[in-house]
Amino acid sequence: MSAPFITFEGIDGSGKSTQARMLAESLRAAGRDVVLTREPGGSPGAEEIRTLLLTGDPGRWSAETEILLFTAARRDHLEKTIRPALAAGQTVICDRFADSTRIYQGTTRGDLRATVDSLHALMIGREPDLTFVIDMDPEVALARGLARRSGEDRFEEFGLDFQHGLRAGFLALAASAPARCQVIDGNRPAEVVAADVLARVHAWP
Ligand code: TMP
């Protein structure tokens, strides 16, 4: 298998960051050269944009401004981290990518999917090879996300209805791209979810 670009997506508190880390550890233990990264962030410039996006008042940015900031961060991440790693034959595992913009800004914050798609085509133009959508009960996930008190709660502050909307969006997106997206039941112990994910990576072409 050539080195793939794998992403994890899901609502806030779905456990996708844990799963991204566990997959990276398993593949490294098996001798694979893995870059584990995240969005927004994953390069010094994009990490600075992350702070702008995830802290402060929920109304700090409009959905349109968010699309521009997330895409700017993604472009830097792609240039500085993702493309060089894939070119060097490293497996890239990324905690969130363009699907998050499609769902958070494109369909849940507003009816802006066409704007998100245009900007993606213009500035990013790259999809992951494989995407795991970690599906999770929004009530459990939101309680877990808020309990972390990470200081990066701007999107959790939009509330439970918002998380339900996100979940529906991610499931619809996965159904529309079945060759790339696999939905994983995240309502199980982390080790069980991780074994499921690893088996699917091994089964991937
Ligand atoms: P996380 O590191 O906890 O996943 O936080 C990232 C937050 O940013 C999360 O609430 C989802 C949000 N987000 C978007 O709204 N659009 C995006 O394109 C990305 C990458 C993240």
Tens of pLDDT, residues 80-117: 999 999 999 999 999 999 999 999 999 999 899 999 99
Instruction: Give the pLDDT confidence score for residue 150 in this predicted structure.
Output: 87
Pocket flag, ligand 1, residue 96 (CB < 6 Å): yes
Pocket flag, ligand 1, residue 52 (CB < 6 Å): no
Domains of the chain, residue spans: 5-203
Residue 40 Cα to ligand 1 middle (Å): 6
In ligand 1, the atom with minimum distance to the C-alpha of 154 is: 10
| pLDDT tens by residue, 145-201 | 888 888 888 988 899 999 999 999 999 999 999 999 999 999 999 999 999 999 999
Residue reference for tokens 């991610």:
170
Give the global pTM: 0.97
Instruction: Give the pLDDT confidence score for residue 205 in this predicted structure.
Output: 86
The CA distance from 112 to 105, in Å, is 7
In ligand 1, the atom with minimum distance to the C-alpha of 109 is: 15
Q: Using alpha carbons, select from 111, 71, 99, 105 the residue that is nearest to residue 10.
A: 99
Q: Is the pLDDT of residue 27 over 60?
A: yes
Pocket flag, ligand 1, residue 12 (CB < 6 Å): yes
| pLDDT tens by residue, 55-76 | 999 899 999 999 999 999 999 9
* Helix 160-176 vs helix 138-147: crossing angle, to nearest 10: 120
In ligand 1, the atom with minimum distance to the C-alpha of 13 is: 3
State the CB neighbour count (10 A cutoff) for residue 88: 10
Q: Is the pLDDT of residue 127 over 80?
A: yes
Residue 88 Cα to ligand 1 middle (Å): 27
Q: Is the pLDDT of residue 2 over 90?
A: no
Instruction: Give the pLDDT confidence score for residue 145 in this predicted structure.
Output: 86
State which CATH number among 3.40.190.10, 3.40.50.300, 1.10.3720.10, 3.30.70.2860 fits the domain covering 5-203.
Answer: 3.40.50.300
Residue 97 Cα to ligand 1 middle (Å): 9
In ligand 1, the atom with minimum distance to the C-alpha of 16 is: 4
Q: Is the pLDDT of residue 1 over 70?
A: no
